[in-house]
């Protein structure tokens, strides 16, 4: 398993575990990119998508196993995932009356990410249940990635638990 595969396995598992009502997500995807040309991005060799979104009007983001890339308010951003040290998501749930809306405009907010050198990136993200995508992805990079070499993938952990319970 490559490093990118291990990151993708652990991060997407964390995102999926923390996500609800994924059938209501309208702009956000886990483990894939929106169709080209919505996200005009070429991944590097072995690089894998973690979470991404595309919005009418041209804003999009793609968080991969190496980079956070986005176009937000006509500004292009690219940041190395390991350099991001903080994030500001605002009120990701949005107004309660809009949390289950499946028609009309896609409700979104702007999140800001910082590195130790200052502003790293801004993304437009879908509010409501789908906000867990980028929030949990950031949580992976903040909490899990620093100890990546000590972590088991979800498959390795399931195998370990089966073995432990048999003994």
Please choose, from the candidates 116, 51, 50, 111, the residue with its C-alpha nearest in 3D space to the C-alpha of residue 82.
116
Tokens of 145: 């990635």
Topology classification of domain 3-166: PH-domain like (2.30.29)
Kindly give the confidence (pLDDT) of every residue in the chain, 167 residues in length, as a single tens digit, with 9 standing for 90 and above. Answer: 999 999 999 999 999 999 999 998 999 999 999 877 777 888 999 999 999 999 999 999 999 999 999 999 999 999 999 999 999 998 887 666 666 677 888 889 999 999 989 999 999 999 999 999 999 999 999 999 999 999 999 999 999 899 888 86
Both ends of the chain: CA-CA distance in Å? 27
């Amino acid at each position: 398993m490559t490093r990118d595969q291990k990151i993708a396995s652990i991060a997407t598992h964390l995102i999926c575990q923390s996500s609800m009502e994924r059938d209501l997500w309208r702009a956000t995807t886990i483990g894939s990119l929106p169709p080209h040309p919505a996200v005009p991005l070429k991944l590097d060799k072995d690089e894998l998508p973690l979470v991404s979104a595309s919005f009418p009007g041209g804003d999009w983001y793609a968080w991969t196993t190496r980079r956070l890339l986005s176009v937000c308010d006509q500004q292009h951003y690219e940041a190395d995932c390991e350099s991001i040290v903080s994030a500001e998501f605002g009120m990701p749930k949005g107004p309660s009356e809009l949390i289950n809306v499946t028609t009309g405009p896609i409700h979104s907010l702007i999140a800001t990410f910082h590195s130790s050198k200052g502003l790293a990136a801004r993304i437009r993200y879908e509010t409501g249940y789908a906000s867990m995508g980028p929030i949990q992805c950031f949580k992976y990079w903040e909490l899990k990635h620093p100890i990546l070499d000590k972590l088991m993938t979800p498959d390795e952990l399931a195998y370990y638990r089966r073995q432990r319970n048999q003994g």
